[in-house]
Every structure is written in C-alpha cells, then in structure tokens.
Amino acid sequence: MNLIDFGAIGDYTVALLPYIPLTLALSVAATALGTVIGLALALVKLARVPVLSQITAVLVSYLRGTPILVQLLLNVNAVPIAILYLNHAFGTAYDALALSPFLVATLTFAMNEAAYSSESIRAALLSVDRREIEAAHALGMTGWQTLRRVTIPSAAVVAFPTLVNNFIGMLKQSSLAFVVSVVEVTAYAKIIGARDYRFFEAYLATAIIYWALTVIVEQIARVVERRMQRPRPAGRASRRTAREVPPHVSAAIAEEVRFS
C-alpha cells in the first residue's frame, strides 16, 4: 500500500522553491510598510494629536478586532467598488479589476502589522533614556532631528526583537494571501497537491519550507541583535550605579511579557 509517497515530498519541496521569493517579498514589504505606519501611529498617540489620535485609535481597534482573513476578503472586494465610485465621482476611467492582488494583500498585512506593532514601538520610544533626549535638545537639535538621530535609533534596538517576531509571524500569515489569488508558496502547494491528489505530501513540503525559512530568519536576527548590543559590552565594569539601570531594560521586559 502506498499511503505516503516519500519521493513526492522531496519533489514538491523543490517545486515550491521558486515561490519563496514571492512569499518573502510579500512578508518583507508588508512588515517594512507596517513598521513605518506603526511608527507613525505610535507618534500620533504619543504626541496626542487631536482628532488624528482618536481616528487612529478606532482604526487600530478595527484592525485588531477582525480576522485578517475577513479583512483580506473584504479589501479585495472593497477596492474595485472604491475605484468604480471614484470613476463615477471624478469622471475617471480606471480599470476596477486591474488591481494587483499582491498589492491588496501587502496593504492589508501592512495595516495589520501597523496596528500590532504601534504599541510595541510606542513602548520602545518611551523607553529611550530621557537624558539623551535632553542632551540632544541642549545641543540645539530640532524635535525632528532629535527623533531621527537619538530617539528612533535607540528605540529601534529595543523594538528589534519584537519586530523580528512580527516578521516571522508575517511569513506564516502571508500564506493567507492565496484567498485573494496571490500564488505564493501555499497557493502553489494547493495547486500541485490537487494536480496529483497528493495533498498531504504537498502540504508537508510546504510546512518544511516555512519552518526552514523561520529558522533561517531567527538565526540572522540573532546575529544582528548581538551586533546592535555591541555598544554595551556585557561583563565589562561600568560606573553605572544600581540607581541608573537604563530605563529601557525594564520596559523591554514588560514588553516581552505583554506581547509574547
């Protein structure tokens, strides 16, 4: 009895390899865009911008309160309607169906990433040592210069592990994009599985690929993280007293507890 075709698992794994770049592109684009939007959301909340901060709060609540699958299905149908509406309102003639599914998936995932990362980015920004910010102000830096040169670089180090986790989550989540007909790794596995009626082998090959990807990303992240920490060599005697434990340490721990 030939319940499992072991040879097919290998063949399918190889067949799926060409779709990895698309999965990666989707994940990288969505995480990058999502992080930038997340930073913007965090700044809006921190600065308590009137009106805007209320609007973003509702947006974040919606994004966190609905399944990503539903958002994908909703957006892919909403976009053509929006285009038709715009055509009607402004007399333009955009093709409502020409919209790339890849773009819809990227934007949907990015907005989700933004909603979830904005809180961790906000915590990371708050963890930046006030004294360094004050030093930047005393040097005569503008608010934006301080943000760009001091606050964001320091916060990035704190937020990095969380953002890597988010990226790994995104790699896996990107498999949902098949519902809006983006043919990435999972979608192609479905296709070849259906072709040979070897679904189990196809999905096993898919799982192997995702697992390998996340392990590789984790290893790369570990190296990068170690490099980022270099300015604070562990074990080297410093003159900091217990009172001066950098405030971001405790914040990072709180962050870890909250989001893991």
Partner 1 sequence: MIRLERISKAFGQRTILDELTIEFAEGRVTAVVGSSGAGKSTLLRSIDFLERPDRGTVTIGDLTVDAARADRAQILQLRRRTAMVFQQFHLFSRKTAQENVAEGLRVVRGLGRRDAEREALVQLDRVGLSSHAGHYPAQLSGGQQQRVGIARALAMRPQALLLDEPTSALDPELVGEVLATVRGIAEQGQTMVIVSHEMNFVRQVAERIVFLEHGRVVEDAPPEEFFGVGVQDRTRAFLREYHLARGTPDYQI
Q: By the criterion CB under 8 A, which residues form the site for partner 1?
A: 129, 131-132, 134-142, 145, 149-150, 153-154, 157, 231-233, 236, 238-240, 244, 246
Q: In whole angstroms, how close is the CB of 125 to partner 1 at the nearest point?
A: 15
Which helix (H) or strand (E) covers residue 9, if one does? helix 6-16
Q: Residue 196 or residue 244: which is nearer to partner 1 going by CB?
A: 244
Give CA 132 to chain center in angstroms: 28
Greatest Cα pair distance in the chain: 78
Nearer to partner 1 by Cβ, of 11 and 129: the residue is 129
Which H helix or E strand runs over 112? helix 101-127
Question: Which residues have CB under 8 Å from 27's CB, separation 6+?
Answer: 109, 167, 170, 171, 174
Least distance to partner 1, CB of residue 260, Å:
25
* Minimum CB distance to partner 1, residue 142 (Å): 7
Rounded to the nearest whole angstrom, what is the least distance from the CB of residue 124 to partner 1 in the complex?
14
Q: Which amino acid is at 142?
A: T
For partner 1, give the closer residue by CB, 148 or 222.
148
CB of 19 to partner 1, least distance (A): 39
Dist CA 152 CA 121 (whole Å) = 9
Is the Cβ of residue 88 or residue 243 nearer to partner 1 in the bound state? Answer: 243
Please identify, using beta-carbon distances, which residue of 11 and 132 lies nearer to partner 1: 132
What is the sign of the dihedral through the CA atoms of 198, 201, 204 and 206?
A: negative
